[in-house]
Amino acid sequence: MSEINSEITPEIVASHGLSESEYEEVLSIMGREPNLTELGIFSVMWSEHCSYKSSKKWLKTLPTEAPWVICGPGENAGIIDIGDNDAIIFKMESH
């Protein structure tokens, strides 16, 4: 059997960094079991590197609008006024 047609086991799913619930979502989206290539694509696209899957919930708790927010989140770095005519720049980049 070729690798691309190999059975997708819980161990393979885990080795791709996907949780059981994420794999269930893959099955729901595709309407079938993915092959290894397709599983790899979901693994990469849903990784912390590409989607911030573990940090996104914490990033959402940070203020994005306030008197001290010079530039909020978006395509550019966020800029925060820290007083005394100084600012700090934050950029979270995964690529």
**Separation CA 18–CA 71 (nearest Å):** 34
90 forms beta bridges with 78
95 catalytic, yes or no?
yes
**Separation CA 64–CA 5 (nearest Å):** 46
Catalytic residue among 32, 57, 91, 95: 95
Residue from 67, 66, 88 nearest 77 by CA: 88
Catalytic residue among 20, 49, 62, 68: 49
Q: Which residues contact 51 (CB under 8 A, 6 or more apart)?
A: 45
49 catalytic, yes or no?
yes
Q: Which residues have a catalytic role annotated?
A: 49, 95
